[in-house]
Amino acid sequence: MSKKKLDELGVSAFCESMAMMVQSGIQTDEAVALLQSEHRGGGVLEQGLAGMKTRVEQGGTLAAAMQAAGIFPDYAVRMVEAGESSGRLEDVLFRLARYYAEQKNISEKLRSAVTYPAAMLVLIIAVLTVMLTMVLPSFRAVYDRLTGSLAASSYAYIRWAGVFCAVALAVMAVLACGLVIGLLLWNNGRRASVESFLARFPRCRGILDTSALFRFTSAAGTFLASGAMQDEAVARSIPMVEYAPLEEKLRRCQARMEEGHSLAQAAYDEELFEPVYGRMLLAGERSGGLEHVLGRLTGLLEDSCAGQVDRLVEIVSPALSGVLMVTIGLTLISVMLPLVGMMNSIG
């Protein structure tokens, strides 16, 4: 069994390929065999397909083969199992392909939102370090060799430049340490702690809320497409959210559904979505198109999340660039003004 999991793009490609072959009438064992014959590079998917081919040829289900391969997310395995039991495997596979492709897109957006500011922080820290350890000391050494009141008065500029650079460097170092600590906590199972801290900032909270809603609508729509009832779809979608504030709202929705309310009505009463989205869900449920509306909401939420990430990057990146330019500019002015004064006095 392979210990390494497929990434979102790999899962999406697998599900789409399987869905197209199932749609064309190819049996599951034949579809897996065809995929296995097309992939002989020895990668994660290739190793997993080799074991899956044996299992499905022995009469096992696709979900059982995926689980035994150990390269697929648990969510994908559960959804394929539900699709096979309900006879809607094709629809479920297509939905899974879209879901993981959209997840990949959002992950890339979030990664870029962290990578560029992190690179800017490293650049700023490097520049400020050079200014404090090389540029300013060099000018101090020049002025130390000068005599007279002009040289004495010029030290005020350099002292202030040194203080400003030191303060800016300390702030940037704190931000960089916070970013590193956050990434370490995120990668070591402390995601909830990081999200709790980020939720204190309105723009970050908006991104977290929207991405969590995206995961819920996508999962709920897929469960409904597999033939699950509304209450079952909500109950099985909650673990997919992985965001405590939304999970609390969903459990309240679940409690309302146990009292006899529909999914759309419970979501509207608990203000799970924005009012316009809530009305869309109500209208879709009344017209019998709840799955379609959930799919539409998933696309809208993906676009909204991507837009919020882009706007955050547009704010953070110029701010960091501004800090860099202001720091360098003030430092250069502070060390050049005495030289200008000397030249004027000599002239």
Residue 144 or 197, more confident: 197
- Check residue 2 and give its pLDDT: 44
Query: Dihedrals φ, ψ of 242, to 5°?
Result: 55, 40
**pLDDT-based confidence at residue 147 (cuts at 50, 70, 90):** very low
Over residues 244-256, the mean pLDDT reads 89
Q: Which domain holds residue 338?
A: 104-347
Q: What is the CATH number of the domain that holds 12?
A: 1.20.81.30
Cα dihedral value 271, 294, 280, 239, nearest 10 = -10
**Of the listed ranges 41-50, 87-96, 121-130, 140-149, the one predicted with least confidence:** 140-149
pLDDT digits (tens, 9 = 90+) for 29-85: 888 888 877 766 567 777 788 888 888 888 888 888 888 888 888 888 888 887 887
**Domain presence at residue 2:** no
Domain match, 286 and 245 both: yes
114 exposed, middle or buried (CB, 10 Å; 0-12, 13-18, 19+)? middle
- Contact criterion met (CB below 8 Å) for 330 and 161: yes
pLDDT digits (tens, 9 = 90+) for 151-199: 455 556 667 777 778 888 888 888 888 888 888 887 777 777 887 888 8
Domain match, 153 and 26 both: no
Task: Give dist(CA 264, CA 278) in Å, integer.
Answer: 7
- Check residue 154 and give its pLDDT: 52
Q: What is the DSSP letter of 25?
A: T
- Check residue 342 and give its pLDDT: 60
Q: Give the domain-ending residue among 81, 101, 121.
A: 101
∠ Cα 212 215 219 (to 5°): 145
What is the per-residue DSSP string for 223-283?
HHHTT--HHHHHHHHHHHH--HHHHHHHHHHHHHHHTT--HHHHHHHTT-S-HHHHHHHHH
Q: Work out the mean pLDDT of the chain and round it to a whole number.
A: 80
Task: Give dist(CA 271, CA 263) in Å, integer.
Answer: 12
**Of the listed ranges 1-5, 62-66, 178-182, 292-296, the one predicted with least confidence:** 1-5
Q: How far is CA 145 from CA 140, 148, 264, 332, in A?
A: 9, 10, 79, 20
Q: How many domains are there within the chain?
A: 2
Task: Give dist(CA 165, CA 167) in Å, integer.
Answer: 6
What's the pTM?
0.72
Q: Give the domain-ending residue among 50, 83, 101.
A: 101
Task: Give dist(CA 245, CA 209) in Å, integer.
Answer: 8
